Amino acid sequence: MANSEYEYVKREFEFDRRLPPSNWIVVRIDGCHFHRFSKVHAFEKPNDENALRLMNACATAMLEKFPDIVFAYGVSDEYSFVFREETEFYHRRESKILSLCVSYFTSVYVMKWKDFFPNKELKEPPYFDARAVCYPNLKTIRDYLAWRQVDCHINNQYNTCFWMLVKSGKSEQAAQLALKGTFAKDKNELLAQQFQINYDDEPAMFRKGSSVYREKVETTVKIDDYGSPIKRPALKVTVAHVDIIGPEFWENHQHILREGKFMHEFVKKFGIDRILPPCNWVVVRISGCQFDQFSLIHSLDKPNDETALSLMNASASLMMEQYPDIVFGYGFNNEYSFVFHEKTELYQRQESLILSSCSSYFTSCYMTKWKEFFPHKELMQTPRFEAEAVCYPKLKIVCEYLTWRQAECHASNQYNTCFWMLVKSGKSELGNII
């Protein structure tokens, strides 16, 4: 399609969201319908050790494949992968990162299935979903991992009690009722008294989940002429079942979550602007801020000040002269909507530049034209306007938008006309609120 007339479908419609720079990226992969999957494949309850080791093998393969992953934490059918904050993996394009990670994880899961379940056929294809979340500093990334480990403990303690009750003869519904409203100490007592199980003696992989990271180890690189090994420090992917909530692990493994170093050029990456979608009509709606106070200070007539409305119209006319891509404007009171034609390339459709320039120019016109419309009134307070941009894919919807604004004009004006006629007849403003 290169240089063809059809290439616009890529150029104008394919946009990749880039995850913000200088943030740690966590990709959390979670099994889809794994309750059914585990049932179909007769996984042991509450924990199937082989299934968990298969997940750990997939996570290990991920760290070996993608060096920008510095840490992973998994429990049950879920795994979180932490990418270093300065990663430029796929230029931080979210869709690429998510799809590649979950695809590779799935591929390894299927490929290694026979290693962990040599006597079980894979009866249906396993699949996973994934999400990417950004965290700005070391504290939040450690709090995230602590949250997942706390969740592991809570879920595993509950599931251990639940399945022991079921295996003892209770129905699943009865087991749920028996555990409803119980606290951690209650569950520990239940396990100890009814099943002679000390929860703290359960395998650490079940209670603490699995942490995967690169551990510093001494490796033999060769043997010297005297038969002595020559060793060098190296990083080896390790699976451990340890506490990551407290500070001890992180103090002993400071190389894992270390902050990156950035060059000055890096700061430019923060200047990411939202591009309004192509082939959409762009409506910029400008509204006066605190104009009730502004109109009171300048003694504008109520319910409508014709001169003030004429000033708004004059400002709108200048807007359309300044911006030829505006094809229509509609205004009432202290609001104006400007419709840009669907093929506009004003500021390359960068939202912030469109909004800021429009609101600035409108404000400037309003102020410079003030004396022309109010020759005997000093401008006592600076007027200011806010703006928002909305995109509509079809002309029909633009027309319905304008219809909605005119209906709003009618309803507001009818109410205000009644309200101010009652005030002028002697009623208080408070007494007119229905």
The domains of the chain are located at: 14-212, 281-432
pLDDT of residue 272: 56
The whole-number average pLDDT for the span 416-424 is 93
Would you place residue 13 in the very low, low, confident or very high pLDDT band (cuts 50, 70, 90)? Answer: low
Write out pLDDT tens, residues 174-218: 999 999 999 999 999 999 999 999 999 999 999 999 999 999 887
Q: Does domain 14-212 have CATH number 3.30.70.3000?
A: yes
| Percent of the chain residues topping a pLDDT of 70 | 91
Domains 14-212 and 281-432 alike in fold: yes
pLDDT of residue 313: 97
Would you place residue 302 in the very low, low, confident or very high pLDDT band (cuts 50, 70, 90)? Answer: very high
Write out pLDDT tens, residues 83-109: 999 999 989 988 889 888 998 999 999
pLDDT of residue 431: 63
Write out pLDDT tens, residues 33-73: 899 999 999 999 999 999 999 999 999 999 999 999 999 99
pLDDT of residue 384: 86
Write out pLDDT tens, residues 371-399: 999 999 998 888 888 888 888 999 999 99
For 281-432, give the CATH class: alpha beta
pLDDT of residue 99: 87
Write out pLDDT tens, residues 123-136: 989 989 888 999 99
Q: Long-range contacts made by residues 372-381, C-beta under 8 angstroms, separation at least 24?
A: 372/314, 373/307, 373/308, 373/310, 373/311, 373/314, 374/298, 374/307, 374/311, 377/298, 377/299, 379/298, 380/297, 380/298, 381/293, 381/294, 381/297, 381/298
The span from the CA of 244 to the CA of 366, in Å, is 60
